[in-house]
Structure 1
C-alpha cells in the first residue's frame, strides 16, 4: 500500500484529502513543516503532499530537508500561490509536480500516480489507450486504427501527457512544464502551436474532437465528446 504524508494546515482541506485517499493508501496528516520533518526523519513515505504556506516551518524548508537528505519520496506541492518564482524554487528544491488551489481530488490522485510511476514505485504500463488510439510508451509511437501517427518528440510527449491525464483539465503552464521544461526560454504560447499541430495529426481519424480547449483555462483529453 502506498504511504502518503500530508502536510496541510487547513483542517478542512486536510480532512477531505485524508478521507479521499484512506481506502486505498496509508495516509498520515500533519499541520506544520516542523512536524513533517520529524515524520520524514522517522518514517519512509512514497509521496508527500505539501502545502507551501505553513505556520512556523514553511513548505520550502520541508522541500530543502527532503533534498538534503536525498529521501526517496515524491513531492507534489499544493499552493494558493501562482508566482513563477515560487514554482521554480519548488522545482529546484526537488518537487515533482504542483497543483494550485482550489483543485479536484481526482486530479490530485492522477498526478500522484504519475509521480509514483515515474519513480518506479508502481508499475508503469507500456501502453495507453483512448478508443482505437494506442500509444506505445516504450517505443514512443502512437497508432489510430493500426495506422501510425507522424509525431515528432514534442508532439508525442504532448499526446502522451494528455492521455495519461485523460479526463483531467490541464492548465497551459502545467503542459508547458511537462513538454518544454520549467527552465525553457520559450513562451507558454508555444503550447497553442503544438496543440494545433497535434490536432492536424488526429483530424483524419476524427480524433481531434477529443482534445478540448477550455477557454482561459487549458486543455482536456475527453474521450466521451460526441458520444
Structure 2
C-alpha cells in the first residue's frame, strides 16, 4: 500500500518542522506550506489523504480554508490545530469543515494517532463507496461500473439498481422492494418499469464467456449472485 499523503498547513516554522519530521519518520509522505492561500490551492487538488490545518494563518485563515473545501466538495479529512482551546472555537472549527481538533501545545504521538483514525475512517468510507461482487465493480463516486475489466455504460437508474443488488447480493429482492427503493414510491403492479430496466441492466452485465449474474426468481423478484 502506498504511503498516505499528508498536507501540513502551518505557518510556524518550528511547529511545522516537528510535524513534518515526525510524520515522515512514521512513513507518511508529507508536504508543507505556511501560506493560507497556497494551502487552499494545494488542498483543493484533492490529492491528499489527510490535511493538518493551523487555525491561525496569514492571508487565508484555517476556518476559511476548511469551509471553502467543504463548499467545493473536497472530502479530505482535516485535523485542525490551534492554540485557541475554548469550546466555542472547537465548535467553530468542526462546523467549518474540520473532522477533528487538536490544541497547542500537543504531543506528537497524539497527533499521529488522530491522523491514523482519520485515515481508517476515510478508507472505510471508500470501501462503502466501491462495491464488488465476483468480477463486477461499482464505483458510487464516479458512477462507473466494470465487469471483467470491461467498462459498463450505465444510466442513473441502472446505477441505483445495481447498487441495490450489490448491497444485497445472493438475496432475493421483490419487485415491490426494488420499486420503492429505486423509484422512491409505492409499487404499481401495472407498470413495466422494473422489467425494462432489469432487461437493459442484464444485457450490459452479460458478455460471452461470463456467467450470468442477474437472475429472475419467477413469481418473486430478482437476485444478483451465482447460478442456483
Normalising by structure 1, report the TM-score.
0.51
| Aligned twin of 1:169 | none
Partner of 1:6: 8
Name structure 1 gaps, 5 residues minimum: 125-227
CA drift of 1:71 comes to 1.1
Partner of residue 99, structure 2: 96
Residue 21 of structure 2 corresponds to which residue in structure 1?
19
- Whether 2:38 is the aligned partner of 1:52: answer no
Distance 1:3 1:122, change over 3 A: farther
Task: In structure 2, list runs of 5 or more residues that go unmatched.
Answer: 128-228
Distance in 1 separating the partners of 2:110 and 2:18: 14
Over aligned residue pairs, what C-alpha RMSD do you find? 2.0
Report deviation, 1:99.
0.8
Instruction: Indicate the residue corresponding to 2:113 in structure 1.
Output: 110
Distance verdict in 2 for CA 1:48–1:79, change over 3 Å: same
- 1:1-34 CA-to-partner distances (Å, cap 9, x unmatched) read 1000001110001011111111301110000210
Q: Does 1:66 align with 2:65?
A: no
The superposition leaves residues 106-129 of structure 1 with CA deviations (integer Å, 9 ceiling, x where unpaired) of: 0000011111112226999xxxxx
Number of residues of Structure 1 aligned to a counterpart in Structure 2:
124
Q: How far 1:72 moved relative to its partner?
A: 2.5
Going from structure 1 to structure 2, the CA distance change for 1:19 and 1:122 (only over 3 Å counts) comes to farther
- Equivalent-residue separation in structure 2 for 1:78 and 1:122 (angstroms): 23
- Deviating above 3 A after TM superposition, structure 1's stretches of 4 or more consecutive aligned residues are 121-124
| Other-structure match for 1:144 | none
Work out which of the two has the higher radius of gyration on C-alpha atoms and give 1 or 2.
2
| Residues 121 and 38 of structure 1, relative CA distance in 2, 3 Å threshold | farther
TM-score (normalised: structure 2): 0.51
